[in-house]
Amino acid sequence: MCYTLGLAERLSMSDSVWQIRRPSSGIPRAAAPNLRGMSRVELGEWLTRELGAPRFRADQVFGWLHLHRVDSFEAMTNLSKRERAALGERASLDRLQVDTVQRARDGTRKLRLRTTDGHAIESVLIPNDERGLTQCISSQVGCALDCRFCATASLGFTRNLDTWEIVEQVTRARELLASEALSEGAEWTPRITNVVYMGMGEPLHNFNQVRRSIEILTDDVGDAIAGRRITVSTSGLVPAIERFAREGLGLEVGLAVSLNATTDPVRDQVMPINQRWSIATLLAAVREVPTSRRRRVTFEYVLLRDVNDTDGDARRLVSLLREFRCHVNVIPFNPHPHAPYQRPSDRRIQDFVAILREAGVQCWLRTPRGDDIQAACGQLAADA
């Protein structure tokens, strides 16, 4: 098993109340490295070491992989035949296979992708109000945490995704959009303008792979997605948030914290991770995350009927977040068979949001997207 315990897992193993799930397997290690999972710097070092290639080859190969999205080394026509043959012998270009693509009434698409070792993961494309799309991508097969409102938690935790498997979700989505545009005779191909690490899994539990994937997705020679348009979510993995802050990621990409309760007893039940790191401890860690003038921390709040949706909850939420330069995404619960909760009434939702806004909290009410194909927030992998 190719797996090393992270800081969060080492801490949790000493906790008798609640533990982070262990993976049932490690990330598969192929005989040859997959070049899709290397940053441009890492790729340059590898090409120099393995092929004795000049440094500019890294730009060329990286562009073929992430801009032109080629499937073979033979397609890299500005490399010599010798170099292409050597790459074929020493490196891999494995792909995720597309199992299914579902399209919701509102235009949201859900992609089910299959890893080389046979596991299913899901990614969602959501049309923006303006031109372009937001892609919600996964970081794990299943999830190491046990948020009670989330369908992914019902799958258990199989393993972390490798860097190339995270990046490949965006590549496959871009290929889908290009194919659709071609078949429809469209004048232009819709662009993926925003990426959110809010799919299957806890992104900060797979910190190293997620960070490298961000470096690849933001590279100007590849997808060139602006860091300010990338958001990494967390359920409250405090040691990883502290690392996120320490390494300055808050200045590169956004952070979204799944809060979902205003008291520890309620959050203990809804999100058992709170039994290890309380609301106060979580907010203390978030307080240390540096943010730029253009970015705010996002707090996600899933509204559950008769659990966390009272006027008192709304007023406590205002009090908890008053000191933060933040905005709040209020998300009415998206029902699925794996959770015991219900969505509040429309009137209750509006009253909750009104209290936040009247107190000056920057607040958005998240409209369910793709819930008819089980692609909305909290529903991923419900039918896997």
327-356 mean pLDDT: 95
The tens digit of pLDDT for each residue in 249-286 reads 989 999 999 999 999 999 999 999 999 999 999 999 99
240-253 mean pLDDT: 94
301 confidence band (pLDDT: 50, 70, 90): very high
Q: Is 114 exposed, middle or buried (0-12, 13-18, 19+ CB in 10 A)?
A: middle
Longest CA–CA separation in the chain, Å: 69
Amino acid 17: pLDDT: 55
Strands (DSSP E) found in the chain: 97-103, 109-114, 120-127, 133-136, 140-142, 157-160, 192-197, 230-234, 254-258, 297-303, 326-332, 363-365
pLDDT greater than 60 at residue 124? yes
Domain 97-373 has CATH 3.20.20.70: yes
Give the pair of three-digit tokens for residue 303.
């509204």
Pairwise pLDDT comparison (15 vs 137), residue with the higher score: 137
65-93 mean pLDDT: 96
Residue where the block lists tokens 């998300």: 331
Torsion sign, CA atoms 60, 62, 63, 69: positive
Torsion sign, CA atoms 354, 356, 360, 365: negative
Amino acid 383: pLDDT: 58
Q: Is 334 annotated among the ligand-binding residues?
A: yes
326 is catalytic: no
> What is the enclosing helix (H) or strand (E) of 343?
none
Q: Is 259 annotated among the ligand-binding residues?
A: yes
- The segment with the largest mean pLDDT, out of 127-131, 278-282, 331-335, 371-375, is 278-282
Residue where the block lists tokens 């296979």: 97
Domain 35-90 has CATH 1.10.150.530: yes
Active-site annotation holder among 9, 42, 122, 165 = 122
Domain ranges within the chain, ordered by starting residue: 35-90, 97-373
380 confidence band (pLDDT: 50, 70, 90): confident
Cα–Cα dist 65/115, whole Å? 18
Cα–Cα dist 66/60, whole Å? 10
151-155 mean pLDDT: 89
Q: Is 14 annotated among the ligand-binding residues?
A: no
Query: 3-state class of 278 per DSSP?
Result: coil
Cα–Cα dist 211/205, whole Å? 11
293-320 mean pLDDT: 94
Rounded (10°) CA dihedral 189, 195, 199, 201 = 140
Active-site annotation holder among 136, 326, 363, 377 = 377
% of the chain with per-residue pLDDT over 70: 94
14 confidence band (pLDDT: 50, 70, 90): very low
pLDDT greater than 70 at residue 7? no
pLDDT greater than 60 at residue 142? yes
The candidate with the shortest Cα–Cα distance to 286, out of 252, 243, 329, 317, is 243
Pairwise pLDDT comparison (139 vs 13), residue with the higher score: 139
Amino acid 342: pLDDT: 95
pLDDT greater than 70 at residue 69? yes
71: left (phi over 0), alpha (psi -120 to 50) or beta: alpha
Task: Quote the pTM value.
Answer: 0.93
DSSP 219: -
% of the chain with per-residue pLDDT over 90: 81
170-178 mean pLDDT: 96
Amino acid 376: pLDDT: 72
Report the mean per-residue pLDDT for the chain. Answer: 91
192-209 mean pLDDT: 96
pLDDT greater than 90 at residue 384? no
The tally of CA atoms less than 13 A away on the side-chain side of residue 305 is: 11
The tens digit of pLDDT for each residue in 34-63 reads 999 999 999 999 999 999 999 999 999 999
pLDDT greater than 50 at residue 222? yes
47: left (phi over 0), alpha (psi -120 to 50) or beta: alpha
Q: Which amino acid is at 316?
A: R
122 is catalytic: yes
35-90 and 97-373 have identical folds: no
Give the pair of three-digit tokens for residue 218.
């933001």
